[in-house]
Structure 1
């Protein structure tokens, strides 16, 4: 096993198996994955800041087995920020136990996670305070999940409907390609709306989903049952639950190709709603090129 010691922001890390292929279809190696996360870190890390990170790891590449990991694993460096969080993710602290989550606030921690083949980084809609206590969520998310033969074109059409429905509730939102099949819509909660707990944001997202399903039953569903989804876009409101997570913007996905979650402009979504070939999931190289050219359009 080849190993290399590197210095990352003053931390010494042991990196292994840089030549190991993690995406066999494209020949993408672990070294290339580490390079992606290093280059995208200026726009990725603000989306991870103060958020407990659930990882999906593919130690033998994306054609091998994977596993979810919430707790900080054995051997976690002492300098990695971790916090004990209730398993419910609730402010009350009531639950069956706690999980010691890592918090990925810096490049050294991000590099350490990538070296563990943690390709996917999933986070909650809430952040933790300095003592590790979950705050109320500071955003609402709706996951647009297309049922075949629906795809990104249908997701773009529905995203415009969700944007209008949220605007009626005085909320703006930002579209993000999921890196998998669909789109995610993030609505920051302004002062006053930040008093909603996870149950409150879940109820609000469900209200929007059910309203649009009623208005557009041939295209939209808020029902989780997969048998009800063919040709429709499922508005998954449940990811606002305190215990649920969503892939972070700019995280890689463990798909056949090294795609990544990528923020879009609304102009691009509008074009995708008109042209069924205008939108596609983006690879990590395309995302890096896009960031170099446009910066973080999520922030814009």
Structure 2
């Protein structure tokens, strides 16, 4: 019965950062719903007294939603109106996504909601911010050098910028939720990072991952990208390599392969070998060169994103699109099952539930040593 299950649950050591027992309010009724409504939460789950754990749908467990509540309201309630920690939030009600009414406070709420999963993918990587001060219907700009307005508590790293306006720039390194809140206050909707990390003295480590950026040409969508992603997976599998897929939050997707190299150019060389072999085997569907005129009806496997001077959108980052879409890690089952572009479109409203269900699907990039890449030329050879 419910009461005995609750007593057993409360005996377990679950009060921590990853698991805790949901609070229980027996017979609270209308008073509980009023409190939920005041906090902007979507509702509660009601369990009938004395009921046993259900084996299927039934009347003993019911979701009771509060009228007018939404996940956005919950996020707004989670995001403190004045900011988070040492990061302040100005103009929290400023609308950054007019089509959905998404405010700066909502953006902060998103980044706080995903911080536990997202920060490990940002930590020790110099971040390039793409900012929309007047919202997504206004102009945007990339910002690398944050020296003018970075607070003393935020880690910054002076990194060389060959080909840029200056020889180096002071990049933000977003190592915690406070850093994400600081970026949200700048309306830095998009956070881009390279495929390599910084050492404790800001020296560059070799790349620790390979990225295959799948860019759909005119007449193709993420559906065709999924087909190409499966071909990449099969090719890597021939060599015992495992990649992890993610949407870009836009039209395409990326695959990330944890790697261990000593030559900073090796990841780019390897990605090019994979792209060119796929373009040879699937000439009607895949292209490995950047010429836009040749991409119509094909998916471009952009291997050049492994260049140490380039970046890709960080996992769980928002995108500056009409709607607040998110670069979202996905399962291979979702890739296999994609039939319509909408199947792999996720907004900030979707992320809390996805993280509850899947956790961080990109976590293997963090907690594995990385694969040694096959020696040069092996990928380019077609078996048989």
The TM-score with structure 2 as length reference comes to 0.71
Of the two structures, which has the highest relative contact order with CA contacts closer than 8 Å and spacing of 6 or more? 1
Tell me what 1:62 maps to. Answer: 136
Change (3 A) 1:166 1:16: same
Match for 1:29 among 100, 103, 108?
103
**Superposition RMSD on alpha carbons, in Å?**
1.8
Instruction: List alignment gaps of at least 5 residues for structure 1.
Output: 90-94
Instruction: List aligned pairs for 1:175-254, cutoff 5 A.
Output: 175-189=245-259, 193-197=260-264, 199-254=265-320
Whether the 8 Å CA contact 2:261–2:267 is kept in 1: the answer is no
Distance in 2 (CA, whole Å) between partners of 1:88 and 1:165 is 34
Q: Larger Cα Rg: Structure 1 or Structure 2?
A: 2
Whether the 8 Å CA contact 1:70–1:101 is kept in 2: the answer is yes
Compare 222-231 and 131-140 and name the one that shifted more.
Answer: 222-231
Tell me what 1:52 maps to. Answer: 126
Whether the 8 Å CA contact 1:152–1:279 is kept in 2: the answer is no
Aligned residues: 284
Match for 1:126 among 186, 196, 209?
196
Tell me what 1:141 maps to. Answer: 211
The answer to whether structure 1 residue 78 and structure 2 residue 152 are counterparts is yes
The answer to whether structure 1 residue 263 and structure 2 residue 329 are counterparts is yes
Tell me what 1:92 maps to. Answer: none
Tell me what 1:87 maps to. Answer: 161
Whether the 8 Å CA contact 1:181–1:281 is kept in 2: the answer is no
Secondary structure of 1:119's counterpart equals strand
Whether the 8 Å CA contact 1:57–1:66 is kept in 2: the answer is yes
TM-superposition CA deviations, 1:229-251 (whole Å, max 9, x none): 11110000011001000000000
Whether the 8 Å CA contact 2:83–2:181 is kept in 1: the answer is no
More strand by percentage = 1
